[in-house]
Amino acid sequence: MQLLAIDLGKQSFHIHGITSEGKVISKKVTRSKLKSVVQEISPEAVAMEACASAHHWGRFFEESGFPVRLIHPRFVLPFVKGSKNDAVDAEAIHEAALRPTMRFVPVKTTDQQDLQMLHRTRDRLITQRTGLINHIRGLLAEYGVVIPVGACRFRKDIRNAVAEAGLSTLAKQNFTALISEFEALDRRVNEIDRKLVTICRKDARCKRLSTLPGVGPVIATAMVAAVDDGRHFSSGRALAAWIGLVPRQYTTGGKPRLGCIGKRGNQYLRRQLIHGARSVLIRIASRNDQRAKWAQNLLVRAGHNKTLVAIANKTARIAWAVLRSGEDYKAVYSQQ
């Protein structure tokens, strides 16, 4: 069999393939029997949607000697015939995987998934921490207590503000519990940040990425978790487009139309790169080299937000070059 497509699930899977004699195989398989069924069929390749658990199964099938093709669900959808069910989905995956121009998702290593897990946990904790800060601010405002703007000021002033607000015993108890919850979230975020710093110091790829302006342990480890060594991208331009740092294009009749950035790909990585671009933009304000002048001129012509995206785009391109070359970033700018 040339190709076996699998519609993944938690306990129930559906496989679809066509034998060399033209016989269609389409059947439901339980989780406990999936490995043995695939090994018995022994296809030339296995295709799956890049969804939950796809990388786990992808690693297993690759270790078993079967090439794996992971497809973004958006690219499978046009091949779905009629109403959705597992059998139809498996057939659609099979059809999509056979297209000669189809784009495939590389299977992540366990190290990449470990890094990705840390970043997703960190992102969730930061979101919860920000929500809790706003919750506490809102409740305190009802008692006439206003904390200065910023997480740092909140962290510094919150306990004194509650102690000096003249609150009732019940209110103090509630705010004390909320503050303890905030501090626990803060500790968890700091703990993950320390782990990312340790990983960055030990990983050669992350260390090289950290030599780029605006790139620290968070961005370096997030980049490696997302793209590994960048070999799956033909150029830095392709990587920047995948992250969503290029204008959305709607061209017809030979007339190009460019809009806002596409916001495709890894949203977390894109956000971190733009945060890094903010620090770069602040530092270059007092510099007079070639890159600083480029950014300063762009700031005047295009505005603050577009300049940030342009710097993030350039950082992503340089990151790809650093990953592919295996060399540290060397900033050589002519002074004017």
Residues 13, 28: contact at Cβ < 8 Å? yes
Last residue of a domain, one of 202, 231, 246: 202
**Is 208 domain-assigned?**
no
Same domain, 238 and 170: no
Q: Are 225 and 321 members of one domain?
A: yes
Q: Considering 202, 227, 252, which residue would you say is the last residue of a domain?
A: 202
User: Do 75 and 118 belong to one domain?
Assistant: no
269 and 305, same domain (yes or no): yes
Specify the pLDDT at position 38. Answer: 94
What local confidence, expressed as pLDDT, does residue 332 receive? 59
- Domain limits at 73? 4-97
State the pLDDT at residue 336.
44
Element (H, E) at 123: helix 110-141
Give pLDDT tens digits for 42-79: 999 999 999 999 999 999 999 999 999 999 999 999 99
Regarding whether 87 and 19 lie in a shared domain, the answer is yes
More confident residue, 290 or 242: 242
| DSSP conformation class of 22 | S
Per-residue pLDDT, 220:
96
102 found inside a domain: no
| pLDDT above 60 for 335 | no
How far, in Å, CA of 205 to CA of 9, rounded?
A: 34
253: pLDDT strictly greater than 90: no
* 230 and 316 inside one domain: yes
Q: Examine the domain organization and report whether 14 and 86 are in the same domain.
A: yes
Instruction: Using a pLDDT cut of 90, give the percent of the chain over it.
Output: 79
The string of DSSP codes covering 220-278 is: HHHHHHHHTTSTTSSSHHHHHHHHT-SEEE--BTTB--EEEE---S-HHHHHHHHHHHH
Mean pLDDT of 229-244: 92
Q: Give the pLDDT score at 328.
A: 84
Same structural domain for residues 225 and 192?
no
Confidence of residue 333 (pLDDT cuts 50, 70, 90): low
**Residue 103 included in any domain:** no
Whether 238 and 321 share a structural domain:
yes
In this structure, of 104-113, 207-216, 261-270, the range with the lowest mean pLDDT score is 261-270
Question: How many domains does the chain divide into?
Answer: 3
Cross-strand partners of 6: 15, 48
Q: Is residue 40 part of a domain?
A: yes
Whether residue 259 is found in the same domain as residue 182 = no
Is residue 330 in some structural domain? no
Is the CB of residue 3 less than 8 Å from the CB of residue 61?
no
The residue type found at 269 is L
Of the three residues 143, 169, 202, the one that is the final residue of a domain is 202
